[in-house]
Structure 1
Amino acid sequence: MSAADTVARRQGRGGRERILAAAGQLFAAQGINATGMEQVAEKAPVSKRTLYAHFRTKNDLVVAYLKGLVLTGGTLESVLAREDIPARERILKLFDRLPADVGPVRGCPFIDAAAEFPDPESAVHSFAREQKLRMVQLLAVAAAQLGCREPLALAEQLATLADGAASRAMVLGDADYGRHARAVAEILLERALSGVN
């Protein structure tokens, strides 16, 4: 790409998308708080003026990034929302190998974001909480589709198990740590569904 093409790309359309892509790469590689807005602008590449025209604050950028993960199906919650996959398979997919090709194993992006923005009133923490509550709702729907008599109780157990596995995967740097939790999830499913016709 020539210097003129680079300048044209910087000034052209698509700045918001480039900013979100750059932020996503940086957040995955080094964490949210360790990533500065100047780094995002440089990686995008856009001017700081363009960055702040699209995202007034870093909180705005982080929430947009998290919303983008939801929209593109890049979260466990997105897998649970897929109706084209049988309910049991959707549940067990929570424990599949985590993507680790971008850098360190990050686990659940919503848990990461909530930990980095601990104020429960912050926009980032609130959005993360909404997604974790959505996860339980989606698990309850899947459990009900399987005929579980207490779908919400099973959903809470499975969500706790999945979140714990994602956290341990991140701490231990083991993208395949979910295999341990999957074995427990299968037992929970078997017990919850025993006697169901």
Structure 2
Amino acid sequence: MNKFIILLSFLFVLLLHLFLFLYYKNHQIYKTKSTNTKNSIEINLSKITIEKNIEKTEEIVKKIEPIKEKKVEKKQENIPKTENLKVKDNPKIEEKQEKPSKTEEQKESIQTNQINLTEKPKDDLIEQKLIDEYGIKLRKEISKNKIYPNISKKLKEQGIVIINFKVDKSGLFFDIKLVSSSNKNRLDEAAINTIIETKKYKPFDENIKKEYLEFNLPLEYKIN
């Protein structure tokens, strides 16, 4: 009797374990299925939303294109044809053409400035002319007094000497110096002595406002 009870209790416990095991296993399988279905549902939903967004953008683009075309047509209509435009039909253009351009005004101002410049230095031109005339006469006078040393003539020494000197208002020479040598000392000294011995020329014109005049005088020594 005791053995039978023990056996029954053992079987009951075994069946209970089997039942629990099967229940747990089925529950896990259901969980995995539910997660898989959720993921698939989410993926499908995302696809649907993307497709909807694409459709919306396509519709917006289709709406925008005809609007752009209309705007371009309007702009083209508003642009006037240059071929049909005439100066007479547009008074503003006539007024602009009548007024001298800035470049023309600048040219006129430059011309007036040039005229003023030519008018202003008239006195300077007259003064320069008087100086040139005085210099020509002065050179002639000095060349008359030119000293050619006899030794240089015998030795056939030749050359050109350039002397720089100044002339004050009274015609007196001062600050005499050699500018270009003839490479012959006797000729250089003779040229300087020529100007020193000449000493003075007549006073220059009162219209020359300068305090002194400066000249470079070339003296040529040549045996004929």
Bigger relative contact order, structure 1 or 2 (CA pairs below 8 A, ≥6 apart): 1
TM norm structure 2: 0.18
**Pair member with larger Rg:** 2
More helix by share: 1
More strand by share: 2
